Amino acid sequence: MGVISRLFRSQSSNAAEILFERNARQRSLQEPRVAPVLPASEVFTPSQPKSGRRQVVGRDAECARILQALQEDRANVVLYSERGRGKTSLSNMVVEALRRSNVIVARHTCEAGSNFTSILRGLMQDLPVSLLAAPRRFDQCEGCEAALPDRELRPNDTLTLPDALACRSLVCVIDEFDRVEDRNTRTRLADAIKQLSDRDVDFRFFIVGVSEDLDQILGQHPSIQRSVLGVHLPLFTDRDVAKLISKGGRESGFEFPSSVIARVAALARGMPYIAQLLGLRLVQAARARGGTVVSEEDFHAAVNRLLSDANPRVVDMYSALTQRGTDLEMMLSLRRIATAPQDAWGRLHVAVSLDGGAVVGGRQIPPASWSELLAVSVLQATDRDAGLFVFAQRALMHHVLLMAAQEAAHHVTDNGQISPVANVARRLPMVAPRT
């Protein structure tokens, strides 16, 4: 082949490649991008917190409020709620945002045996040794542990930490703080917060724990009220639950019809953990059937699965309350309460009636049922004067809803009659939507 024709060939193949690439680029701009399908267990994660902005649904307002408190208001934050409402997932979002703005973050998760010294050491161990301002004193120290004295720690040991570390601002995240049994730890941490706030040291605590009440987490310390922001994490709205399910469907390659999403929202009642668990079981049921569109049949399979996996303690509690499913009045009372309108924190508005019964969200509860539910602490007053009550065990509320959903699917009794409970349950709205 002559030089000219070789040159021509290579030029024309270059031109063809350029044309092909340009066309491909145009095509990729025009065609919708197909995201890779992820395994359902990576998308719906009932047993794991979410680990960053892209994985979570909602929580923007709470995240912004916590960031503002930590960064602008120079306040410490206590994030609290019942179990499984999304505290660790939200704290992961906050940590991600803090790190993006170059704030140094140390994290520690407490255990029952943790105390003030072990928590501070755990936090410093979480930081890279390169942050130490001075060379390490002991080789056996982990991370930045050498920034702390080698003895039992006191609240004022926190004051020198920012100097011992080469960082402008430090946020220490302490998760599962409710698990700490040592009472002194609460007082010491409160003292440390007080001393840090008085000296205006750029060092904050972000404490996370299970509680319905701020005082239960840190104890009552009037001296630190001004320097601590308490954030009581609300439940998801039904719209958040719907987003969680549709997002998970898109990511795992399954379609959730709106009727199924509405049922999931009714059962989850704002609880992200239940939404994740139902999402996973629904996708598994559809996959077992060989379908990619989740059906009513899958919904019933998922409900049955959740009921068969239910915590035996909750099953026993339900069985004892309803006399093994024979106390119709109690079953209906539980269903009325479990489907009554709730506020953002799961609180129910209760008006006690003259006969000793109650009206919960407009639904009548007979005196015998109401007094028993209080006596065995199924319902607890969070503010008796305002008539606000919560389910002490929200798992029991979910069990009641799951039983109602199962009953609605099999509402015909052996003799062909509609069972009385199902009959009433079908007339009750499954949920009062919260948007």
Ligand X SMILES: Nc1ncnc2c1ncn2[C@@H]1O[C@H](COP(=O)(O)OP(=O)(O)OP(=O)(O)O)[C@@H](O)[C@H]1O
Q: Which residues bind ligand X (CB under 6 A)?
A: 45-46, 48-50, 56-59, 81, 83-89, 210, 244, 272-273, 276
Considering CB distances under 5 to 8 angstroms, the limit depending on partner class, which of ligand X, Mg ion, none binds residue 333? none
Is the alpha carbon torsion for 312, 316, 318, 319 positive or negative?
positive
* Burial label, 54 (beta-carbon count in 10 A; 0-12, 13-18, 19+): exposed
**Could you say which of Mg ion, ligand X, none residue 280 binds, taking C-beta under 5 to 8 angstroms by partner kind?**
none
Least distance (Å) between residue 402 CB and ligand X: 17
Q: Which does 48 bind (CB under 5 to 8 A by kind): ligand X, Mg ion, none?
A: ligand X
Q: Least CB distance from residue 242 to ligand X, whole Å?
A: 12
Query: Which of Mg ion, ligand X, none is residue 352 near (CB under 5 to 8 Å by kind)?
Result: none
Is 180 within 8 Å of 164 (Cβ atoms)?
no
In one letter, which amino acid is 388? Answer: L
Cβ proximity to Mg ion, 87 vs 204, nearer residue: 87
Nearer residue to ligand X within complex by CB, 199 or 313: 313
Binding residues among 248-277 for Mg ion as defined by CB under 5 A: none
Find which of ligand X, Mg ion, none residue 45 binds, CB within 5 to 8 Å per kind: ligand X
Nearer to Mg ion, 87 or 281 (CB): 87
- Residue closer to Mg ion (CB basis): 268 or 365: 268
Q: How far is the CB of 203 from Mg ion (least distance, A)?
A: 23
109/353 with CB nearer Mg ion: 109
Nearest residue to ligand X on Cβ basis: 86
The single-letter DSSP state of residue 161 is H
Nearer to Mg ion, 88 or 322 (CB): 88
In the complex, minimum distance from the CB of residue 46 to Mg ion, in angstroms, rounded to a whole number: 13
Please tell me the count of residues contacting Mg ion according to CB under 5 A.
2
Min dist CB 49 to Mg ion, Å, is 6
User: Tokens 């940590």 correspond to what residue?
Assistant: 95
Rounded distance between C-alpha atoms, residue 47 and residue 246, angstroms: 19
CB 274 to ligand X: min, Å: 8
- Letters for 295-314 (x = contact with Mg ion by CB under 5 A, - = none) are --------------------
Element (H, E) at 1: none
Please say which residue, 249 or 272, places its beta carbon nearer to Mg ion. Answer: 272
Nearest Cα to Cα of residue 256 among 281, 236, 230, 273? 281
Residue the block writes with tokens 């979410």: 50
The interface partner of residue 276, options being Mg ion, ligand X, none and the CB cut-off 5 to 8 Å by kind, is ligand X
Distance from C-alpha of 409 to C-alpha of 273, rounded to nearest angstrom:
23
For residue 373, give the amino acid letter.
Answer: L
Q: Which residue is nearest to Mg ion (CB)?
A: 88
> Are 264 and 282 a contacting pair, CB within 8 Å?
yes
Report CA 233 to chain centroid distance, whole Å: 9
Distance, in Å, from the CA atom of 319 to the CA atom of 34, rounded to the nearest integer, reads 48
- Cα separation, 163 vs 122, in Å, equals 18
Entry field: residues in the chain: 435
Residue pair 87/233 in contact by the 8 Å Cβ criterion: yes
Residues 66-125, interacting with Mg ion (CB under 5 A)? 87-88
Among Mg ion, ligand X, none, what does residue 58 contact (CB within 5–8 Å per kind)? ligand X
Nearest distance in Å: CB 277, ligand X: 7
Q: How far is the CB of 429 from ligand X (least distance, A)?
A: 25
Query: How many C-alpha atoms does 257 have within 13 Å on its Cβ side?
Result: 12
Nearer to ligand X, 85 or 398 (CB): 85
Interatomic CA distance for residues 403 and 319, integer angstroms: 11
- Residues 6 or more apart whose CB falls under 8 angstroms from that of 170 comprise 103, 104, 105, 106, 161, 162, 202, 203, 204
CB of 49 to ligand X, least distance (A): 4
Provide the token pair at 213. Answer: 């009440």
Cβ proximity to Mg ion: between 178 and 202 the closer is 178
Please report, as ranges, the residues that interact with Mg ion according to CB under 5 A.
87-88
